Structure 1
């Protein structure tokens, strides 16, 4: 397949909307119906993060088919690290200030809170590998970097054909450690690069290297499989979260990060998009896809600010968290706010959309050129 794949570009902005929906929890806690709606929203949204992993693995294979993979991996690593640093620069003041404010309201020592927060932020494993030391939302960036590294190591040490089988083995452990916990106790975090991202990045890599790109004639069949696996994911999560636990549906929200159906849904969707490369080509969506990564990196900060605003009003007696209008507006407000913040950072030359995201590098480059 050659040329621009408009469908993948467009799906980036669609997928990032679903990522934000996962974090904003629309209608959760209002009532039984609100919890049911939130369960449905989260269940559908679970394709979004795997989509970004698969896409990255696919383009990793595509871009390295005629040049050194180490060179491309280095460039990707620099970009991912710069994005992660940009996200941290935005998140640290917001989250740190929020922790101090909560400590002040609860009567806890500000000094002790500040020290414990700094220690937590600088935890090397959480900061470098898991990406959760400041904001759990930013975990994707280190996970993608290490997932690409794992794929690269398997290819260099072994063979490209080994990538998917090895990744599947690790992912099965991840499923036991997160979703299917009733079978075995896995005593470590499995929503990471090795047990989660590796599989999906490996899927994208394998799709490209094995030439699994389907023709347009198969797009209807693939769309049917997407629908089928959406339904199967609903069934899987419902069985795990409610039926097997003996809980009434809607009494709370059970929405694991992934399941068996998630991989099947994600790969079906990706193959469908490959079968229709010009899908959405006549819409603004492919161009909006450029802003997807920026919205992802900035939305933890915006969401934290909105959440602090909500908590402040709640403490004053305004129960806005139970108001439907709040749940209707929180997701769009987070997305728009994140986009505005991203563009504003570009205007200030803190980062460069389509270029460097190393905080302050575009500004320093401009100063040097002048």
Structure 2
């Protein structure tokens, strides 16, 4: 498929957003984790991870239509190699540097992605989501998968942003499986499937017909709502 320059441009801003989320100098202002500036940077940058999941699903649709399982296998193999390599690097670096050799379980390694370092959760989440989308498209049920993923995502929100309104005991560090709703099932699956469906429904050509001011307004409103959710 031809290059989509708008997506490349958004990737640049998404990478900067990831930097804002994780770089320590932006984590606190004046020693206050509830400082409005910290909350602003942290909240408006949260679009980045969902964006990368959506983009992965979007481009996966084009490739899987042409090459099927052969492409899917290569794609997943590359992610697995990347994931295993960095897990080993983090485990060795943290183990030798701090003497903190953390135990590894099947769930932390294959599902939660927290073996070695928690920031690696993105990769196994992407692997499982791509596998689910591939199976769904084989049976021509990607729309059904999106509906199911939407329900799971709504449940997952009860363990994240809206837990103040809909508190649930499902997601807790004391559980083996439901440790965190930012995982393959309750988070990544929705965004990857959404990206796949956006490509399948040819929403790119539809969106290009809309004025750019509309998308800017939506982005600003969304950012303010995210900041308000985080602040209050």
Regarding TM over 0.5, the answer is yes
Contact 2:36–2:231 (CA<8 Å) still a contact in 1? no
Q: Spell out the pairing of 1:129-144 with structure 2 (5 A cutoff).
A: 129-144=111-126
Q: 2:221 aligns with which of 210, 220, 228?
A: 228
Task: Name the residue aligned to 2:73.
Answer: 74
The superposition leaves residues 252-292 of structure 1 with CA deviations (integer Å, 9 ceiling, x where unpaired) of: xxxxxxxxxxxxxxxxxxxxxxxxxxxxxxxxxxxxxxxxx
Q: CA deviation at 1:165?
A: 0.9
Q: CA deviation at 1:32?
A: 4.5
Q: CA deviation at 1:57?
A: 0.2
Which structure has the larger Rg? 1
Give 3-state SS (helix, strand or coil) of 1:186's partner.
Answer: coil
Contact 2:53–2:188 (CA<8 Å) still a contact in 1? yes
TM-score (norm 2): 0.86
Higher relative contact order (CA 8 A, sep 6+): 1
The superposition leaves residues 295-340 of structure 1 with CA deviations (integer Å, 9 ceiling, x where unpaired) of: xxxxxxxxxxxxxxxxxxxxxxxxxxxxxxxxxxxxxxxxxxxxxx
Q: 2:203 aligns with which of 212, 225, 228?
A: 212
**Unpaired segments of 5 or more residues in structure 2?**
172-177
Q: CA deviation at 1:212?
A: 1.1
The superposition leaves residues 139-185 of structure 1 with CA deviations (integer Å, 9 ceiling, x where unpaired) of: 10111111111222233345122132111011011111223334222
Tell me if 1:173 matches 2:155. yes
Deviates more, 1:207-216 or 1:38-47: 207-216
Contact 1:155–1:162 (CA<8 Å) still a contact in 2? no
Q: CA deviation at 1:31?
A: 3.9
**Unpaired segments of 5 or more residues in structure 1?**
101-112, 240-370
TM-score (norm 1): 0.55
The superposition leaves residues 105-164 of structure 1 with CA deviations (integer Å, 9 ceiling, x where unpaired) of: xxxxxxxx64xx2xx1x3111011111021001110111111111222233345122132
Q: CA deviation at 1:216?
A: 4.7
Contact 1:163–1:206 (CA<8 Å) still a contact in 2? no
Task: Name the residue aligned to 2:183.
Answer: 192
* Alpha-carbon RMSD: 2.1
The superposition leaves residues 83-113 of structure 1 with CA deviations (integer Å, 9 ceiling, x where unpaired) of: 112312321221112331xxxxxxxxxxxx6
Task: Name the residue aligned to 2:175.
Answer: none
Distance 2:48 2:62 in 1: 21
| CA pair 75-27 structure 1, distance change in 2 beyond 3 A | closer
Contact 1:155–1:163 (CA<8 Å) still a contact in 2? no
